[in-house]
Chains A and B, each alone.
Chain A
Amino acid sequence: MDLIHIIYGLSFIVFGPLIGGIIAGLDRKMTARMQGRVGPPVLQPFYDIIKLFSKEKIAVIYSESFWVLAYLIFIVITGMLFFAGGDLLLVIFALTLAHVFLILGAFASSSPYAHIGAERELIQLMAIEPMVILTAVGMYQVTGSFFVTDILSHAGLLVLVLPGVFVGFVYVLTFKLRKSPFDLATSHHAHQELVKGLTTEFSGPTLGMYELAHLYEIVMLLGFVYIFFGMVPAIGILAVIIVYFLEIFIDNATTRITWQPALISAWIVTLVFGGLNLVALYLL
């Protein structure tokens, strides 16, 4: 790993939330337009986060803010590893660890709504982990390396040899971005069912840290989409835009489903698209 990659990794700390915030702002604007509304300003996610940090800190159990801080730190580390061209497996495991911290934060209080959210987040992890790992394995099969730098320097578009893995990854991306139909753990639209699910007990600065971590996460996950098209940056960026637009469209076109079909469909997609793609790679 040379100096330029370390600079990429470090610049993620600053540019991650900036780019993520603008993406989230455009997301809200576009969602509003799809619903025939004017929508909030594009910079709204930044206003929300700055506001949350200026609020009073109320906590039933103080350990929850520690867990959420750990979640934020590990998400940042995950993104840094990814953008510094690090090992994909390490990135995936660090991402999972970050989510474990978030779940512990939700389980810290005794609120039933936070507990339902945390349990559903665990189910979501179960649903998406196989596909995320298959993505790394598929990339290794093609390029012979788990390092993002090597994968990016591979000659040829990865998506052409890994179309099934790509479809599977985009499918589980909906879970990760917390969009309908898979916004089971926490959602702005599930008052009657969840209150706020996973984040019910987080208030003020704690919720601010959670929202900030989500911005980092959006950028890192879209980075995953990008490396499928790594050889041609222009196509890569176009693909990221199209995939995110599709996510917004699906978010607005579908309703939240229960955890059973969410889990089963994710595993079926993993097995059919991801699994068959890998078998085909092995045989050919």
Chain B
Amino acid sequence: MSCLQKSPWIIHYDASSCNGCDIEVLACLTPLYDIERFGIINTGNPKHADIFVITGGVNEQNKVVVKNIYDQMPEPKVVVAVGICAASGGVFRECYNISGGVNTVIPVDVYVPGCAARPESIIDGIVTALSILEEKRIAMKKRQIGAVQ
């Protein structure tokens, strides 16, 4: 395991979620689940984060915000879409202002299903994201070496 996998810092954003998934994300930080034992810190700052945990179906107003947060994160980075709204728009899919899932705005690496997603499945999703993060780190390193040569 590389140090990147041992120290994934997350940023959590609520892209027009009903708050159900957000409460479950925050529940992961409580003593019962304690994601800090994996070295995970909820940073609240895209420039420090490795994993973008996003909930909700993304509406027209926060499309720009989601894109902005994603662009501000330094490589390597992964996106974890938490809850069914983040995956497809869920029950809000047909709403006039919902874009229908996070992947309509930014590329998503891991989908965590559920309404609301349970803390166990969120932790499982983030741990899955760690291996993708490692792949991206190696790919980034190869690109850098390639650029030098």
Contacts and interface: CB of A to CB of B under 8 A. Distances in A.
Contacts of A37: 31, 34, 36-37
B4 interface: yes
Contact of A56 (B3, B43, B48, B76): B76
Nearest to A35: B31
B131 interface: no
Interface residues of A, number: 31
Contacts of B76: 55-56
Interface string B38-81: 11011111011010000000000000000000001011100000
B39 A41 contact: yes
A48 B4 CA distance: 8
Contacts of B75: 55-56
A157 B108 CA distance: 62
Contacts of A28: 36
B16 interface: no
Interface in B1-35: 2-4, 6-7, 31, 34
Given A37-B31, A48-B39, A51-B3, A56 B47 contact: no
Interface stretch (A160-168, A177-185, A188-196, A215-223): A188-196
A58 B74 contact: yes
A191 B37 contact: no
A51 B6 contact: yes
Nearest to A44: B39
Contacts of B41: 188
Nearest to B140: A56
B37 A195 contact: no
Given A47-B7, A196-B43, A204 B74 contact: yes
Interface in A195-209: 195-196, 199-204, 207
B70 to A, nearest CB: 12
Contacts of B44: 191, 195-196
B37 A203 contact: no
A44 B74 contact: no
A50 interface: yes
A196 B37 contact: no
Given A38-B37, A196-B43, A50 B3 contact: yes
A196 B39 contact: no
B7 A58 contact: no
Contacts of B48: 196, 199, 203, 207
Nearest to A32: B36
Given A48-B7, A48-B39, A54-B2, 9 more contacts: A28-B36, A35-B31, A39-B37, A41-B6, A51-B7, A55-B50, A188-B43, A191-B42, A204-B74
19 contacts: A32-B34, A35-B31, A36-B31, A37-B31, A38-B37, A40-B37, A40-B38, A41-B39, A51-B2, A51-B4, A51-B6, A51-B50, A54-B3, A54-B137, A56-B76, A188-B43, A195-B45, A196-B43, A196-B44
Interface of B: 2-4, 6-7, 31, 34, 36-39, 41-45, 47-48, 50, 72, 74-76, 137, 140
The 8 closest A-B pairs by CB, nearest first: A191-B44, A203-B47, A50-B3, A56-B75, A56-B74, A47-B6, A37-B34, A36-B31
